[in-house]
Amino acid sequence: MNPHALPDLDAFWMPFTANRQFKAQPRLLVAAEGMHYTSHDGRQILDGVAGLWCVNAGHGRRPIVEAVQRQIAELDYAPTFNMGHPLPFEFARRLVEHTPGDLNHVFFTNSGSESVDTALKIALAYHRARGEGQRTRFIGRERGYHGVGFGGISVGGIASNRKYFGNLLSGIDHLPHTLLPENRFSRGLPEHGLQLADELERIVALHDASNIAAVIVEPVAGSAGVILPPKGYLQRLRQLCDKHGILLIFDEVITGFGRLGAPFAAQYFDVQPDMITSAKGLTNGCVPMGAVFVREHIHDAFMHGPEGLIELFHGYTYSGHPLACAAGLAALDIYQEEGLFTRAASLASPWEEALHALKSLPHVVDIRNLGLIGAVELAPKPGAAVTRAFEVFQRCYERGVLVRVTGDTLAFSPPLIIESGHIDQLFTTLRDVLQEMA
């Protein structure tokens, strides 16, 4: 695209965006390579958020580009309903080499939202298949983000994503979130708040365990401003779910594929969930795809009855799409060859240092980090919540750095190929901007 030439912006109704504000002052990205975007006005922008937490191996990776090019020329589309083509079988087989424990079966979707809906439906149908069809309730968490399907917003806990959309799913309770003032400026996992997991007992006492299908949580919450689990919290949730026969679903749409320094957060925390929902890094963000990983006994519970009968009445036209599988297989090769599943572990400590060095800057009220995730929370402007962080985002962009803003929090989740020079540039730019706004 010719720098400076902007298309007509009117027809595209942009997602999760203040459309009128954006269209008055647009920021368009027109190319990407490695750690950088090129903006429509021809500037290099350091990508501090891996697109939207998805481009884990960096942009424009040739092996992925070429795999997709080859694939579209060879087999552009083939159904996976009652037909098949080799790629999703191959991709699923390769993926389960990296999942924890016996999460050995993969249901393909096209997004994180679809992965969440799929996992919730599998949970219900699994209990029913075992003769416990009364287990229909779900437990999510305040401030949780599980995408935007009706299932996802129902178990999710972000008020603005729920309040416009009517009654949602019924039969849902929420655990309390774990963002506690006494944990401010914790480095890595916070000390306080383990007891918040015991709220599950209160909910179980209210409804009886025999009515509860599953608990769904993000091991580390991203969209609501990076919320970490207190030490021991996820282990405790696992114990309680085991005690009550409740399935535990980890929504790893952002933590999957190396973000914390292990393939999945489940491995990082050494907690075995019953299902993992994923998307984003699954294909390095370049072709839409999601996946639900399911434990052996859950999958096997469906494999009964007449062999000619469909075991799960669920799926998408594009489940296991050839282009997505080709992209995913090539991304997986890169993750393995370049050690990207564990690279975040080796960068976690300089990343933490660089982030926490911002502690005394104007307006900073909290800093949180884990793996290659970071957040700097700002004091809201009196009477104008969220505007300060948004201004920081705009000023960083003008200075060639892309960050993410969610409420009054700035979030960082760079491609896992980030080098120390980029970490310096990211946080020096942020420092300059915050000082300028003092």
The distance of closest approach from Cβ of residue 222 to ligand PXG in the complex, given in angstroms and rounded to an integer, is 5
Residues 6+ apart with CB under 8 A from 12: none
Regarding 256 and contact with ligand PXG (CB under 6 A), the answer is no
Smaller CB distance to ligand PXG: residue 137 or 404?
404
The distance of closest approach from Cβ of residue 254 to ligand PXG in the complex, given in angstroms and rounded to an integer, is 4
Regarding 217 and contact with ligand PXG (CB under 6 A), the answer is no
The distance of closest approach from Cβ of residue 145 to ligand PXG in the complex, given in angstroms and rounded to an integer, is 5
Q: Which residue has the CB atom at the shortest distance from ligand PXG? A: 112
- Supply the DSSP symbol for 156: -
Regarding 147 and contact with ligand PXG (CB under 6 A), the answer is yes
Please report the beta strands in 127-200, taking only residues with DSSP state E, as ranges in sequence order: 137-141, 172-175
By CB under 6 A, name the one of 92, 279, 347, 367 that touches ligand PXG: 279
Regarding 222 and contact with ligand PXG (CB under 6 A), the answer is yes
Beta bridge partners of 44: 38
- Supply the DSSP symbol for 402: E
The distance of closest approach from Cβ of residue 392 to ligand PXG in the complex, given in angstroms and rounded to an integer, is 15
Contact criterion met (CB below 8 Å) for 409 and 226: yes
Beta bridge partners of 45: 37
Contact positions with ligand PXG (CB under 6 A) in 88-127: 111-113, 116
Q: Which stretch binds ligand PXG (CB under 6 A): 79-87, 162-170, 250-258, 372-380?
A: 250-258
What's the Cα-to-Cα distance from 274 to each of 32, 213, 410, rounded to whole Å? 37, 12, 32
Q: Which residues of 144-153 are buried (b: 16+ CB within 10 A; e: fewer)?
A: bbbbbbebbb
Q: Which stretch binds ligand PXG (CB under 6 A): 144-152, 180-188, 329-337, 373-381?
A: 144-152
Contact criterion met (CB below 8 Å) for 220 and 228: yes
Distance CA(241)–CA(292), nearest Å, equals 19
Contact criterion met (CB below 8 Å) for 106 and 292: yes
Residue 437 CB neighbour total at 10 angstroms: 14
Regarding 178 and contact with ligand PXG (CB under 6 A), the answer is no
The distance of closest approach from Cβ of residue 300 to ligand PXG in the complex, given in angstroms and rounded to an integer, is 26
Q: What is the largest CA-CA distance in the chain?
A: 70
The distance of closest approach from Cβ of residue 284 to ligand PXG in the complex, given in angstroms and rounded to an integer, is 14
The distance of closest approach from Cβ of residue 224 to ligand PXG in the complex, given in angstroms and rounded to an integer, is 8
Distance CA(346)–CA(166), nearest Å, equals 45
By CB under 6 A, name the one of 406, 410, 415, 423 that touches ligand PXG: 406
Smaller CB distance to ligand PXG: residue 129 or 318?
318
Interface with ligand PXG by CB under 6 A: which residues? 52-53, 111-113, 116, 145-147, 218, 222-223, 251, 253-254, 279, 404, 406
